[in-house]
Structure 1
Amino acid sequence: MAVKDTLRAVRNAGPRTSSDERTGATSAAAIGRHPIHPVLIPYPVAFLTATLGTDVAYWRTGDPFWARTSQWMLRLGLASGVVAATAGAADYLSIPRARKHAVGPLHAIGNATVLALSLANLLARRDDPEDAVVPRGLALSAATTALLGVTAWAGGEMIYRHRIGVIEEEGAGEPDALPSGDAAGRGLLRHDARRETQHESA
């Protein structure tokens, strides 16, 4: 009885989840069941946020090296962003749950806006990469970085709260199954099981 009570307490401790979300929605764009989008997304995030850093470096030093580096960061960020967005769009369009919650459209539209801002930022530097950094390029880079923070949070909500694009484990979704990755809950369960065994032995 103590084991079941502990299990129930662990399951009820987190945010409420609708019954159709107790199991994960697997990714449509995957290799060997492993979702592609989470593998790709760190690259545009790294390149586009680095652009803000190199813009600040040029602003503070006036060294043309940093202005040229910003251009390359934008090019790489856009290229990798388009690839990541393609995989993300496949999941967004094929998994109804991704469109059901507000964080889904926020993630999708926000990242599309990130790509649009980055393209505008790159085009603004086409003729004179140094002159375009301050203030326009720097402002666009800052806006892009801030928006990436919002869309990254929304993406995390989709995966960890709504279980979109996850690999389902054996036994997931069963009434007595613990939420995937709930190490604390499993520890409590094992602890109670040992206590019951010791009590019965005594």
Structure 2
Amino acid sequence: MAFPPETSNPETSESGRARVDPISAQPYFHRTESRIAVAGHPIHAMLVTFPIALTMCTLGADGFYWWTGDSFWARAALWASGMAFLFGLAAGLAGTVELLLVPGIRARAASWTHFILAVMLLSILGANWGYRLTGYEEAVLPWGLLLSALAAGFTAVTGWHGGKLVFDYQIGTSRNGKG
């Protein structure tokens, strides 16, 4: 491609040398297949559905408790928040191992953003569950409900970043369907 003398080539720097993307220049940049998988299905992707659903269930149960005053919903929120945290730990362990073992995942800044958001989300889920362990009915209003809303918001943002890694960069997928 020829450029007129008055127009600079976007592929070269001011010194005339070709610019190279430091990330894509890494030899393992395109190695992003899951290493923690069962029959080609990434375990992290399978596990994250549980804490996502349980976080939303916790928020829903808090809302129903606020609306009805029925202690069943406060108890359901206690269990949902605890299971969201525990399944989140399992999903986080699988995701962390993927991050550390797969060079193409480690090389991307977006992977680290998702990791940091996920760790922050786990701390919120743990705080929400721990707060409810002191007395699940008294914990719902107002702080339990606020922690649940914060956790739901963080889940949405963290999940969006994780989905972006999968759909835009094919992170943690398998090309051949075999583990």
Instruction: State the TM-score bracket (shorter-chain normalisation).
Output: 0.7 to 0.9
List aligned pairs for 1:18-29, cutoff 5 A. Answer: 25-29=32-36
Shift of 1:22: 9.2
* Cα distance, 1:72 vs structure 2: 0.4
* Structure showing the higher helix proportion among its residues: 1
> Where do 5+ consecutive residues of structure 2 fail to align?
1-23
> In the alignment, is the contact (CA less than 8 A) between 1:51 and 1:73 conserved in 2?
yes
> Residue 77 of structure 1 aligns to which amino acid in structure 2?
A
Distance 1:106 1:68, change over 3 A: same
List aligned pairs for 1:75-90, cutoff 5 A.
75-90=82-97
> Is the contact made by 1:24 and 1:168 (CA closer than 8 Å) also made in structure 2?
no
Distance across 1 between alignment mates of 2:115 and 2:76: 28
Number of equivalenced pairs: 154
Q: What is residue 63 of structure 1 aligned with on the other side?
A: 70
Query: Please, which of 113, 125, 134 is the counterpart of residue 120 of structure 2?
Result: 113
Q: How many Å apart are 1:75 and its aligned residue?
A: 1.4
**What does 1:118-137 align with in structure 2 at a 5 Å threshold?**
118-137=125-144
Q: Please give the alpha-carbon distance, in whole angstroms, between the structure 1 residues aligned to 2:103 and 2:31.
A: 12
Cα separation, 1, equivalents of 2:164 and 2:106 = 13
In the TM superposition, 1:51-200 aligns within 5 A as 51-169=58-176
TM normalised by structure 1 equals 0.70
The alignment yields a C-alpha RMSD, in angstroms, of 2.2
- Runs of 4+ that moved beyond 3 A: 18-24
In 1, are the aligned partners of 2:106 and 2:112 still within 8 Å (CA)?
Answer: yes
Which structure 1 segments of 5+ residues have no match? 1-17, 171-202
Counterpart AA for 1:72: W
Q: Post-superposition shift, 1:61? A: 1.3
Normalized against structure 2, the TM-score is what? Answer: 0.78
Once residues 101 and 24 of structure 1 are traced to their aligned partners in structure 2, the CA distance between those partners, rounded to angstroms, is: 11
% of aligned pairs identical? Answer: 35
The higher radius of gyration belongs to 1
